[in-house]
Structure 1
């Protein structure tokens, strides 16, 4: 059983701003929404979360989880205690309806990284993709295994000869730095949000993507893909 939950932050409150300023703090708040400890590995469904900021200056938390969350503490700290609510939906009926050839609009916040080294003598290390071209390429390289393909634009709608072949944009690039419990050095993280249109190629693989996440830094608000009517 999987659930999809949405909660709106009251960004005028100090508690909301504190949570939104630290992925580490928000991760702890999300995980404390469950009475039982839930799995966090990549070998099965896990808790995924993402922050969305809308054009109307509204900020939402989305959570996909194997159990229903209780967000009472978030309502009290960062919502509207008298009138605030959250919405939790049974995700299974939607997941079971995915079929080959279906087209959906999608959103994904991810941490696009690659391994690199400056010299042959140095060990490889994870390095963030910072340019839009490489950030787009990062997702396109993973689409087949993730169970979908990003829809290609008709040639007459392409504004550039290179890098504009797909119904895909990258926005909301952020570089985050925060302290992790027990570590002296801050954690730095580059995140981007992808919006586009996809076609389902492998429903089972796409279901795994939607419930297990895509890419790294899932504990810090990355990896959650959601679909909507195209």
Structure 2
């Protein structure tokens, strides 16, 4: 499969500046939905086109500094003059045992089986799920100790999630002993940001034709909710073919909303 890695920015021009806050709202949730629509505009060459790209936003809230990084199966179009687009083929030559640095904005989840037979299980945030188990203990701690325990739970859960992703996708996290001599992934965690988008944003994941067929204004639909974490660390490639096949598919959920794109580079 041919892949392209693109850097996308709004064009620095007076006509674009006049629309900047409509295109990139200051509200975080509105900005995520708007970002998805903007990136879709670079690939929407057909009403039945399925999403074949991953993206993330970098650069801060000021629209002049905002950069979208996009990994796609097709080279993006010009975007109607709104964007500056720099694209290059993405075909890294990797070998088994090769170490890489990575950055990943992840929305991890797992499925809790439904009690109703035949009904699909509920997707939940694994960090929240583990904290609920320790809810009583957390309430008994002083604020500093409570925060320390929260961070320990967060690190343990996300380290386990990343290791499972690696087993399925041909890599393993690099580990180092902590103060207690326990091997832990070399991992920096930032974020823990809860997102709650209106149902209208949920339909962004579907093709235009499917949206027309599935829309039913009489039904009430839940918001799209997920939690994002920015992970920065080191991995070792064990199966290059499997790893490269998974990169364009992404890791975790909420891939339509700027999550799942793993950016890699040599140390």
TM-score normalised by L of structure 1: 0.77
| 1:87 and 2:94 aligned | no
**RMSD over aligned Cα atoms:** 3.0
After superposition, residues 43-62 of structure 1 pair within 5 angstroms as: 46-53=52-59, 58-62=65-69
Structure 1 unaligned regions, length at least 5: 41-45, 77-83
Which of 67, 72, 79 is matched with 1:72 structurally?
79
Match of 2:194 in 1: 175
Change (3 A) 1:99 1:138: same
User: What is the SS of the residue equivalent to 2:68?
Assistant: strand
Q: CA deviation at 1:69?
A: 0.9
Output one character per residue of 1:37-88: Cα deviation in whole Å (capped at 9) or x when no partner. 4444xxxxx211112347x994321111111113535x73xxxxxxx72321
* Structure with greater Cα Rg: 2
Distance (Å, rounded) in 1 between the aligned partners of 2:111 and 2:39 = 30
In 2: Cα distance, 1:66 partner to 1:108 partner: 19
Contact 1:113 1:127 in 2 (8 A): yes
Q: 8 Å contact 1:105–1:198 — kept in the other structure?
A: yes
Report matched runs for 1:72-221 at 5 Å: 72-73=79-80, 76=82, 85-92=84-91, 94=92, 97-116=93-112, 124-130=121-127, 131-132=153-154, 133-153=156-176, 155=177, 158-159=178-179, 165-181=184-200, 182=215, 184-221=221-258
Number of aligned positions between the proteins: 207
Q: Name the residue aligned to 2:43.
A: 34
Could you tell me which residue of structure 2 aligns to residue 43 of structure 1?
A: none
Within-5 A mapping of 1:10-29 = 13-14=20-21, 15-17=23-25, 21-22=29-30, 23-29=32-38
Question: In structure 1, what is the Cα distance between the partners aligned to 2:181 and 2:194?
Answer: 29
Q: Structure 2: which 5+ residue stretches go unaligned? A: 128-152, 201-214
Contact 2:111 2:122 in 1 (8 A): yes
Deviation at 1:20, TM superposition (A): 5.6
Which residue of 1 is the match for residue 142 of structure 2? none
